[in-house]
Amino acid sequence: MGHLVLRHLSKRFHKRGIPVLRDLSLSVEAGEIFALLGPSGCGKSTTLNLIAGLLEPDPLPYPGEIWLDGIPLNPLPPERRGVTLLSQHSRLFPHLSVG
């Protein structure tokens, strides 16, 4: 992955709920080893889901931005972002099988 930049990301799951993320900004250089650490519920998975495009950042108080190698990812659908998210829990449809 290249240079990843997050600017002013905020996310809450209910209109009046407590924000999971509030004004998160960070930069990860290409080749840098980076980890998100923290207790359950602190926003680690939410941040990764925002980067992958599975969630959209809240527009207020800031219109959060996600950039990869100078390209804004916000307008791109998940399948066009070039980002892969591997969850620790399977996300398969329960009514489908490998067969």
Q: Is there a domain that residue 86 lies in?
A: no
Domain range for residue 37? 4-80
Domains contained in the chain, number: 1
Report yes or no on 40 lying in a domain: yes
**96 in a domain, yes or no?**
no
CATH of the domain at 68: 3.40.50.300
Q: What is the pLDDT of residues 3-49, one digit of tens each?
A: 999 999 999 988 777 889 999 999 999 999 999 999 998 999 999 99
Question: What's the pTM value of the predicted model, to 2 decimals?
Answer: 0.83
Considering only CA atoms, which of 36, 39, 47, 41 is closest in space to residue 9? 47
E strand or H helix at 47: helix 44-52
How far separated are the first and last CA of the chain, in Å rounded? 33
| Strands of the chain, DSSP E | 4-11, 21-28, 65-68, 71-72
